[in-house]
Amino acid sequence: MESFSESYKAAGVDITAGYKSVELMKKHVARTNIPGVVSGIGGFGGLFAPDFKGMEEPVLISGTDGVGTKIKLAFLLDKHNTIGIDSVAMCVNDVICCGAKPLFFLDYIAIGKNIPEKVASIVEGIAEGCVQSGCALIGGETAEHPGLMPENEYDVAGFCVGIADKPKMIDGSKLTQGDVLIGLRSSGVHSNGFSLVRKIFDIDENTINNTYPELDKPLGETLLTPTKIYVKPVLALMEQVEVKALSHITGGGFYENIPRMLKEGMSAEIKKDNIPVLPIFNLMQRVGGISEHDMFNTFNMGVGMVLAVAESDAGKAIDILKENGEDAVVLGRVIEGSEGVVFV
C-alpha cells in the first residue's frame, strides 16, 4: 500500500512531498560519492568506512554549524542553491583547522512547508559544498514544521566528520616567535555578522537589490556570495610544508579567532596595510558608521583563513597556495605577548 496520510496532510505535513524531495536530490547527492561511502540516502543512518592505512593513530574530528540569518537573504532573493555551500563551509573550514581531512557530511533542513523543488535546490548547494571539500553527503533530514515557522522559510544546519593522524594534527603547540602569518582571501562576508549586516542596510524586499558604486553586483547578490571553502588548498599545503596553526575567521573576526590558534604567551602582529579588505566591508563601515574595532571584531574583513608557518617556509607556502588557486598574502608574524592581536 502506498504511504500517504490524509490526516497528517490536513495538519500541514505532506509526507509524499518528502518522498519527492528525496528523489529530486539524489542526482545532487550522487556527485559527492567518494571511496568509503557504504550506503545511499534514505536509510536510518549514513554509513561510511574510513581508510586508516598509513596512519599511526587515527583521530576523528567533528564540526557542526548553521548558516545564521544570512538565510533571510536567500528568502528575499528566492535563490536557494548556494546557501547549502555556506552550511558545508562553516563545518569543513573548522575541521581543517585541526589538520583533518573531511570525510562525510549530514544536513538538517527545517522548513515551514516542504516544496520538493526548493528542498532539492538547497541540497544542490550542500552537494556542491561537499564536492568542493572532497567529502561525501551520506545522509540528512528534512523536517516540515507547520505552525512553527512560516511556509516560505527554512533553516539549514550541518554536521561533518573528518580524520587526522594524531602525530600530524595541528594544534599550535609548535609555534615560535617569528613564525609568519599567512592570510587566505575570503569571497565576501561569508556567513557571520548578518544580523549587523541586515541592520546596516535595513535589508528588506525594497533594499535587497540596491546598487552602490563600490560593488560590481547588487547588494543582495554580493552578500549572498557563498563562504569560501579552503580544504583542498590547505591539505595540499600540508603535504609539503609544516603548517603550525590555523584559524577560521568567523564570528568574532580577527580579535576572537586568531588568538584561538596561538599558544599561551604569544600574540599575532598584523600589518593592517597587508589586509586585502574587500569593498563590501568598507561600504558597511561607511554606511553603518561602524568603528574599525567593531569591524575587525565581527567580520573577516577579506581574510577567511589564517595559517602560521616557519619564516623559512613562508615563500614556498605562498607559492603552493597560489598553485592551488589561493591568492595568499603575508599578514604578519607571531610575537611574544598576551595582547592576542596587535595591529601595526
Distances (CA, A) of 56 to 103, 119, 161: 18, 41, 19
Task: Note whether 266 and 173 are within 8 A (CB).
Answer: no
User: What is the predicted pLDDT for the residue at 46?
Assistant: 87
- pTM listed for this prediction: 0.93
3-class SS of residue 7: helix
Give the integer Cα–Cα distance in Å for 14 and 276: 48
What is the Cα 99 distance to its own chain's centre?
16
Q: Which residues contact 118 (CB under 8 A, 6 or more apart)?
A: 80, 111, 154
User: What is the predicted pLDDT for the residue at 23?
Assistant: 84
Q: At what angle do helices 314-323 and 231-238 cross, to 10 degrees?
A: 140
- The DSSP call for residue 208 is T
**What tens-digit pLDDT sequence spans the chain (344 residues)?**
455 566 556 556 666 777 777 788 888 889 999 999 997 776 788 899 999 999 999 999 999 999 999 999 999 999 999 999 999 999 999 999 999 999 999 999 999 999 999 999 999 999 999 999 999 999 999 999 999 999 999 999 999 999 999 999 999 999 999 999 999 999 999 999 999 999 999 999 999 999 999 999 999 999 999 999 999 999 999 999 999 999 999 999 999 999 999 999 999 999 999 999 999 999 999 999 999 999 999 999 999 999 999 999 999 999 999 999 998 999 999 999 999 999 99
Task: Note whether 320 and 236 are within 8 A (CB).
Answer: yes
Cell of 333: 608574524
Give the helix/strand (H/E) hosting 309.
Answer: strand 303-309
Question: Shortest CA distance to 143 belongs to which of 185, 114, 179, 172?
Answer: 114
User: What is the predicted pLDDT for the residue at 17?
Assistant: 73
Question: Shortest CA distance to 258 belongs to which of 173, 185, 172?
Answer: 172
